[in-house]
Chain A
Amino acid sequence: MATQGLKQVTVLSGKGGTGKTTITAALAQISSPLSLVVDCDVDAPNLHLLLSPNNLAENTFESGKLAIKNSSKCINCGKCLEICRFDAITPEFEIDDLACEGCGACAWICPTKAISMNLQSVGLIFYAETRFGPLVHAKLNIGAENSGKLVSEVIKRGHLKAKEFKKNFIFVDGSPGIGCPVIAALTNANLVIIVVEPTITAIHDMERIFELTQFFKLPSAIIINKADINKDQSVVIKNFCKEVKIPMLGEIPYNFNVYKAMVNGQTILEFGIKGVENQINQIWDHVQDILDK
């Protein structure tokens, strides 16, 4: 193995449902035992459904605060309502938990110290073993804020575990979108793989993710999934790659058996979908070449 040091590959798509998790699981399998996988789609994690992890450790992650009012100290002066920029204080001077950003301005201004700021549990972080090696994954509490901080923490732990087990590669399965959890998943990435399907919407989202990688000056590459559902749009994607000079790693054809594999809890390689193994092999070789440079 020519690759020196630990390399992080983050898999993103912008749009949901293009096949990030399916492809990350296949890459985890093909690169095993040299790799560790991190599931950073903390608000809707799915990688564990394919990797059936055996969780060895579980930690609560706390971050961010929430204002709590002590009604017996409150004198209804209304200063909290005036200062709050998030409409999180009701006209009756109660705190709207869902609107509260945890900034602490109300607690600071309160003359009677009736408001305190309490640390919130954001979610759980798991360290697990899978048939392809270690997995670090997490689960955001229902409705919790600070998913970006949870993602950063999950990646940090992934790196620690990868070093401990002398792994060469970390695969990060990111969440859809371009907001804070996605930006957090880009941290430390040596390569960002953008999984796109040949649809107008997915292409638009690919362009926004690409722009984000440019914003953070990170190298990126494209995989076209479900490549044959619209050949004209696949050409559009290939032309985009040429235009912005990023590598096209490979094309994976649309196949109904992908859903059957999912239902069985298998990767597309394990299910043995025709033609897929060659494509994934080719993609993995290409990824290693890029990381070696």
Chain B
Amino acid sequence: MEEPNVNYFLHEELIHYCDVNTLHPVVDELICTHCGLCADLCEFNALAVLPSQVMVFDELCHGCGLCNLACPAKAISEAIRTLGTISKSVRPQSKVSNNSMRNLCFYEGRLIVGQAIATPIIRALKKIALEENFDHIILDLPPGSSCPVVNGLSNSDFVVLVTEPTPAGEHDLNIAIQVTEMLKLPFGIVNNRSDIGDDRISRLASKNGYNLLSEIPHDNDILHYYSRGLPLVGMHERFDFVFEQLWHQITEVYKWQHKV
């Protein structure tokens, strides 16, 4: 949502699906007694009560509504603020040439620049996707390990962690593994650009019994296609093979872990 990039490779035509909104307080200064209770209760410091004025910091507000509920003078109402948007792919059947993508549906969440909170967009996206009965839902999550990642990961059936064999890659992979294990989710690792550093990722995987799903060596063609926004699948047989194998590995590991 913060940096939505998948569609630079899918090239889907998108239409606006919905806005993701949150609420923030609006204070009626004529009714307000400036008692300060709202500011005392607010855990996010989104309100400051001065002797004759209340300041509202929208960007800090999480939209919990506590100030509105608690106000003894009933001076607070709530206004809608848009955090971001969700778009959906439109695919006229005639345009579809690639058979394997025939049934692909794509949703994109996009945080409005200047808004700080991306988590509600992830939650909304997941809710929308779950309401449709897809066979598979693939979520492309942001880097890091904070709230958007945790919210995105929760309830996943399988997690694919993509890393590279450098100290930074290994360090961040370990953080991602800790988050995934905290949520008790099964996972596998893709060692991307597997020959740029050393053998630390394969060593880590074999030492801990992690599933190494795929090792993709550095390839100048990949770099070139990537820089131009071209998807790898369909560009060359060797890439098709890599991703067919990866998908096969994911399904095999999933079956094994779920004993089906």
Contacts and interface: CB of A to CB of B under 8 A. Distances in A.
Contacts of A98: 150-151, 154, 183
A291 interface: no
B154 A256 contact: no
Contacts of A41: 144
Interface bin, chain B? 35 or more
Interface stretch (A53-61, A172-180, A238-246, A277-285): A172-180
Contacts of B123: 87
B118 interface: yes
Contact of B117 (A46, A103, A105, A179): A179
Interface in B56-100: 59, 62-66, 69-70
A132 to B, nearest CB: 18
A43 B144 contact: yes
B28 interface: no
Contacts of A212: 113-114
A85 B178 CA distance: 28
Contacts of A175: 143-144
A133 interface: no
A43 B175 contact: yes
B41 interface: yes
Given A101-B64, A148-B116, A179-B116, A201 B145 contact: no
B85 to A, nearest CB: 14
Nearest to A101: B62
Interface residues of A, number: 63
A177 B3 CA distance: 6
A183 B146 contact: no
A256 B227 CA distance: 17
A44 B3 contact: no
A204 to B, nearest CB: 7
A205 B63 CA distance: 28
Given A108-B41, A229-B227, A230-B227, A263 B198 contact: yes
Contact of B197 (A104, A176, A262): A262
B172 A104 contact: no
Contacts of B154: 98
21 contacts: A65-B43, A102-B43, A103-B64, A104-B66, A143-B182, A147-B146, A175-B143, A177-B142, A178-B113, A181-B144, A181-B146, A198-B227, A199-B226, A200-B227, A201-B3, A211-B114, A229-B224, A229-B227, A230-B224, A256-B196, A259-B197
Interface of A: 14-16, 21, 41-44, 46, 49, 64-65, 83, 85-87, 98-99, 101-105, 108-109, 117, 140, 142-145, 147-148, 175-183, 197-201, 204-205, 208, 211-212, 215-216, 229-230, 233, 256, 259-260, 262-263, 265
